[in-house]
Amino acid sequence: MADAARIAHLRGLDAYLRAHLRGQDHVLARAAAVFTRGELGLARTDGPRGAFLAVGPTGTGKTELVLLAARYLFDEDRVRRFDLSEFQRADAVERLLGGDASDPGAIGRAAIGGSPRVWLFDELEKAHPKVLDLFIQMLEPGRVTLAGGETVSLRSDYVAFTSNLGATESMRMASSSPASVEQAVLRRVAESLRPELLARIPDKLVFARLAPEVQREIAELHLANEVARLKSVGFDLEVSREALEFLIREGFHPQLGARPLRQTIERHVQDAVVGELMRSGNGAGRIAFDAKLNALKLEA
């Protein structure tokens, strides 16, 4: 039985996720529940502590959700992240499990360190079919055997998959109800992935496309984080409303979602600071939008 302090910490996971991830409130409680069940020892013992699949359009927070949960509960260095677009060839399983006793493979190397670990496999739909067989073993019975004979157990770990399957349906059904979008996306997932794999993933989280008001919230969040970070290193800034509107226009992409936003905000804000530093030596003040230059400038 978990102690009171641990329970109190777990109780705060849902609120933490909502504070840092915008536009996906409908899936955050379910994601938090996966980790909470695992941490309270309620999960079955013949597989990982928890497993889920996050699907939907790119740039909507699927990978960020996993990183945030790991950061809150453990430490982000517990995340073992794999981009499955790198494991599409026939030798993918060998690269993961090792070629011989001297080679532990990518999974063997990633298994070094403390537990629980969070295994994050991005872009599931791009993995070679034999890699999907490997995932079935990882989910049930919760262990894999490396080429050298060593067994890696995932029974104290969490396994999260992300996929862009259903993104086209989600973007096309902008005016449909969330329930209809979820049904269409999960139907696409079922058509694309093997049933024996899907049957071993108990939670399927369908991420929504980002509405304009959510895009604004995300931009404000990233901008506040960047201003706070720059203040911590000596640059005291405030940002005008016009500058924020410019950053939203520049940073949000209809197909890529919010993925480019953070980079756009950091680049434009930092360039404004650099420009004024080079001109006057001052790196503090108000960042405004210069319509003539179509850029941000720092007004000292």
- For residue 41, what pLDDT is reported? 92
Q: Return d(Cα 249, Cα 243) in angstroms, integer.
A: 10
Query: Considering the entire predicted model, what is its pTM?
Result: 0.87
**Residue 119: DSSP 8-state:** E
Bond from prior residue into 141 cis (ω within 30 degrees of 0):
yes
- For residue 105, what pLDDT is reported? 96
As beta bridge partners, residue 296 has: 289
Output the tens digit of pLDDT for each of the chain's 300 residues: 468 888 999 999 999 999 999 999 999 999 999 999 999 999 888 899 999 999 999 889 999 999 999 999 998 889 999 999 999 999 999 999 998 889 999 999 999 987 899 999 999 999 999 999 999 999 999 999 999 999 999 999 999 999 999 888 888 887 788 889 899 999 999 999 999 999 999 999 999 988 888 888 999 999 999 999 999 999 999 999 999 999 998 987 766 777 788 899 999 999 999 999 999 999 899 999 999 989 999 997
- Which tokens go with 106? 């990518």
- For residue 276, what pLDDT is reported? 93
Q: Return d(Cα 111, Cα 169) in angstroms, integer.
A: 36
- For residue 265, what pLDDT is reported? 95
- For residue 178, what pLDDT is reported? 83
- For residue 177, what pLDDT is reported? 86
User: How buried is 20 (Cβ within 10 angstroms: 0-12 exposed, 13-18 middle, 19+ buried)?
Assistant: middle
Domains (ranges, CATH) in the chain? 4-206 (3.40.50.300), 212-299 (1.10.8.60)
Alpha helices in the chain (DSSP H): 4-11, 13-20, 25-39, 62-73, 92-97, 105-110, 129-139, 167-172, 178-192, 195-198, 212-232, 241-251, 261-280
